[in-house]
Structure 1
């Protein structure tokens, strides 16, 4: 038996149109799952591989989780769900998160929408004996001086993972999380596109390389599989050793 065969499973990756979420979506698709992804743009054709988007073989629906009512109104194109991955994320640089509107915007995407999506699909996951995976960040474990909302929201995401893990275990839903370190995506270009910053970052990573969406996907596959059947409420740090 291959525990990493997801044939016949239905997966939804919110934030699956690019970056880490997209890498996770394609990993499930490659192992037989039918994978749905949500992103902010109107159509799949509005994304390109230059954005870190590879949508071939994925079912796309628009969902802008920065709108607090969008999740409630969302009508999924499926009626069964085995695995829900919440990979949505936002950050505002240049001290924008020190303004309350910026702080709220990031909090809405990175924390409020996690609870909205989790509760929206709770019943489907319970019927399937399914798995919920929340993508947070190693920012949950240390300060990120210029980004108070990003930090607070990712710390909150880790707490939410723990608490839903305990609360929903009796419903047959296993809730766990992934805390990526520095992964090469559109969102981290502020570091990766700056040679001096990149060099400094790589010096701090014992593996001496950036993470990839595929590195994160390997852990997501594990957390959704029978291999992790006794793992509940945990957030696994996937950072090449960065925060050691």
Structure 2
């Protein structure tokens, strides 16, 4: 009797071990959120084209100090709203590139095409809470419902021929199906160092949030 009980226990043990092994082997492998579109080597324009199959840019507003741009995919869905704060002084080393940008050129493409190395110095990475005040931007983003939008503030630096310059401070607000905060952390491995909303960041976000409420069917007046 004891021999039969022992045999039954042995059979049960082998069966359960095999089941557990099968479950482990058949479980789907974890998928990394950091896919190839999140390479830090890509420009924003290149990333949009790679992810959505097309890229274009419209300058919605420009002044001597500020440019607001709509970076969209092949279906004209806004993937990034970019607010650019130009420096007070444009060095002659990149005055030609600056002129092309003022005329509507994509900042990263212009500098890269002209042989500059681009570096981004992080200031802030975070999220903006949903708000009905942003409905005009949500409409540009394909009439999405009020949604949490990730935001990245950085200094756009350029280098060439042994010289380095800060070109502009850029704030980018992203379509939720394009870049989330988790995606930004994939692009920026040190992102956790820049999640704090400091006073300068709060001032910049206040300006950007105002810009996000504007109707760009007519040229708005931006007041700092």
Same fold (TM over 0.5): no
More strand by share: 2
Question: Rg: which structure is higher?
Answer: 2
TM-score by length of 2: 0.29
More helix by share: 1
